[in-house]
Chains A and B, each alone.
Chain A
């Protein structure tokens, strides 16, 4: 059974703080991992892919722990514009290519002035 689990939050964080949240996945065959950002009543937008060695994009850092089957997202120096829902997305390629995408329900982040 494919499952991706996230703490729904909300996480209320003061502007400028650092915030981190995790996502766990149940299928050890999962092969690719992404964080998407979704604003209220808008479509999901790719924030970053998550690589095995971990990767950073500006204030955002993503980590993957295959042994424990979790992914993390760290946001440093948070801005008001970071307020959104962050969706953890896992692709379990069963040999059919890009069809095994499973979304978490998302973590709601609120940055407070």
Chain B
């Protein structure tokens, strides 16, 4: 019973070629997040949506964009991937209440050739 679903699980793209990662959820959560996680590092928040309200972290590169067309779906667009963007990308959801945990998808592992 997957509740936060990310596609694809593995993505390979070429240096500079735009790529889109997708996330969908069946939890009807209002808040959706995108994290980047590199090997042996903590997940790093890129941005999140409160409903349709987009919140960008100050240090998220302009190369990273996001779209949330409806409650269930959220996309991460990387306009011109560089070698340093190779990482696991994690989507998570939560309700408004900050005392509730976040629920993560399986992640998309992005490789850059």
User: Which residues of A pack against B, CB within 8 Å?
Assistant: 4, 8, 31-32, 34, 36, 41-46, 49, 87, 89, 91, 93, 96-101, 103-106
Check if B101 sits within 8 Å of A34, measured CB to CB. Answer: yes
Taking the complex as formed, is B34 at the interface, i.e. its CB lies under 8 A from any CB of chain A?
Answer: no
Asked if A49 contacts B101 (CB within 8 A), the reply is yes
Closest 6 A-B residue pairs measured CB to CB? A103-B42, A93-B98, A43-B104, A98-B98, A32-B99, A46-B101
A42 to B106, Cβ gap below 8 A? yes
- Cα distance A42–B41 when bound, in Å? 13
Closest chain A CB from B88 CB (angstroms):
7
Of B11-19, B59-67, B70-78, B89-97, which binds chain A? Answer: B89-97
Instruction: Assess A43 versus B48: contact at CB under 8 Å? Given A98-B31, A98-B94.
Output: no
Is the contact region of chain B dominated by helix, strand, or loop, or is it mixed? loop
- Minimum CB–CB distance from A62 to chain B (whole Å) comes to 13
How many interface residues does chain B have, given as a range? 20 to 34
Contacting pair A97 B106 (CB below 8 A): no
Q: How far is the CA of A105 from the CA of B104 in the complex (A)?
A: 17
16 new A-B pairs (CB below 8 Å) besides A41-B88, A97-B96, A98-B102?
A: A31-B99, A34-B101, A41-B109, A43-B104, A43-B106, A46-B101, A49-B101, A87-B43, A91-B98, A98-B96, A99-B31, A99-B48, A99-B55, A99-B98, A105-B42, A106-B42
Q: List 7 A-B contacts (CB under 8 A).
A: A8-B40, A31-B99, A34-B101, A46-B101, A98-B94, A98-B97, A98-B100
Q: Which of A44, A46, A98 contacts B43 (CB 8 A)?
A: A44
Contact of A43 with B105 at beta-carbon distance under 8 Å, contacts A97-B50, A105-B40, A105-B41 already known: yes
- Residues of B contacting A89 with CB < 8 Å? 101
Cα A113 to Cα B28 in complex, Å, equals: 42
Counting CB contacts under 8 A, is B107 at the interface?
A: yes
